[in-house]
Amino acid sequence: MSLPSTLAPEVRQYLVVTGNYWAFTLTDGALRMLVVLHFHQLGYSPLEVAMLFLFYEVFGVITNLLGGWLGAHAGLNTTMNVGLAMQVVALAILLVPDNLLSVALVMTAQALSGIAKDLNKMSAKSAIRLLVPKDAQGTLYQWVAILTGSKNALKGVGFFLGGALLAAWGFRGAIAAMAAVLALVWVFSMITLRKDLGRARTRPGFSQLFSKSRAINYLSAARLFLFASRDVWFVVALPVYLSSTLGWDDWAVGAFLACWVIGYGLVQSLAPRFTSGGDAGVPGGRAAFGWAIALSLVPAGIAIALTTIASSEVYLVAGLLAFGAIFAVNSALHSFLIISYARDDGVSLDVGFYYMANAMGRLLGTVLSGWVFQTWGLSYCLWISSGLIGLAAGLSLFLPKNYSGEQGS
């Protein structure tokens, strides 16, 4: 199990990081679908199933903040490998007999999985910043877009994988298979990933957990509202609406969500082709503002269609596909900007802080999705989504308008 020696060391490390991220993402998407389908079959309501993932999001906030500090101290190889190992443990917890598979146990496993996922993501995104020369920002943008886009596409594939494994081998058989494969990936990563990757030259204290960069603070706030705007309708409201209001079968709901995520990931990987940059050939805050404004119009348009058009199913599906495409470009822009703004020494601190905001946005969106939909319905979720994107756009006005070759300050 070795990578071709003819490849440059940076490329070999990039392939290891990307391979780890891909393998983890497949199990993450599959595990989510396995839990959703299995507990739905046990008679849990959609909102009760969604609440099983509450700790997954809560611990993501904590992990991103502390994970960046840990990565700067111990190295990104350590945080990535710990994330892989924790996911294996989370899967193993779910191998207990059905009579012992309680809600508390599943929430514990999801908490571990949430920690593992954000350790893995923070490590992968930070590692790319260190593997690309500082003066090759165009290459950095492409590498970040490929990594994040392929990850999201594979998460959609993971939804399909989870359903297929559940049908073929049952819940415990599917979990056991994923745990075994991911354990092999973990061993390979332990052998091949560079030991000093991302370790800061000066060990940061806890006082440095929060970013002191103006650009990163505004970008992180924009990221929070951007991801809250997606999850406010995506996590609970949309699947319940498709199932209960439009009468879609469970497999159709799952297939649509999987295709949406796969398409979102593919567009995200191609984002550098759609965005124009400044003098350095890469986008800045001006592009982030423009794409956010364009995105804010989509959920508002869908909400209007739901309340004024009798048969609005086609408009809903078309609008959500448009949202996914434009949201993918917004997400790719943010992912590049944080890697570009991050410091060379202790990059994981800046990236961890940013993804803490990302996790807070997902948590806010998840809670709002269940509450707003249950109280007022899907159209209100979409109006709130449009407003949240507007806040993200406003914050983008405070970002450097174009990349200047200097880190955010």
The per-residue pLDDT of the chain, averaged, comes to 84
Q: Assess whether pLDDT exceeds 80 at residue 396.
A: yes
Whole-angstrom Cα distance, residue 54 to residue 22? 24
* pLDDT for 57: 82
H or E stretch covering 21:
helix 9-41
pTM summary value: 0.80
DSSP string, 126-177: HHHHHHS-TT-HHHHHHHHHHHHHHHHHHHHHHHHHHHHHHHHHHHHHHHHH
Read off the pLDDT of residues 46-79 as tens digits, 9 standing for 90 and up: 667 777 888 888 888 888 778 777 777 777 788 8
Q: Determine contact, residues 20/185, Cβ cutoff 8 Å.
A: yes
User: Higher confidence at residue 323 or residue 64?
Assistant: 323
H or E stretch covering 46:
helix 46-51
Q: How confident is the model at residue 37 (pLDDT cuts 50, 70, 90)?
A: confident
Read off the pLDDT of residues 264-286 as tens digits, 9 standing for 90 and up: 999 999 998 888 655 456 788 99
Domain boundaries, the chain: 9-396
* pLDDT for 6: 59
Q: Which fold has domain 9-396?
A: Growth Hormone; Chain: A; (1.20.1250)
Read off the pLDDT of residues 168-224 as tens digits, 9 standing for 90 and up: 898 899 999 999 999 999 999 898 887 666 565 555 554 555 656 889 999 999 999
* pLDDT for 406: 45
Whole-angstrom Cα distance, residue 83 to residue 121? 9
Q: 10 Å Cβ neighbour count for 365?
A: 28
Q: 10 Å Cβ neighbour count for 374?
A: 12
* pLDDT for 89: 96
* Helices and strands: H and E segment counts in the chain: 14, 0
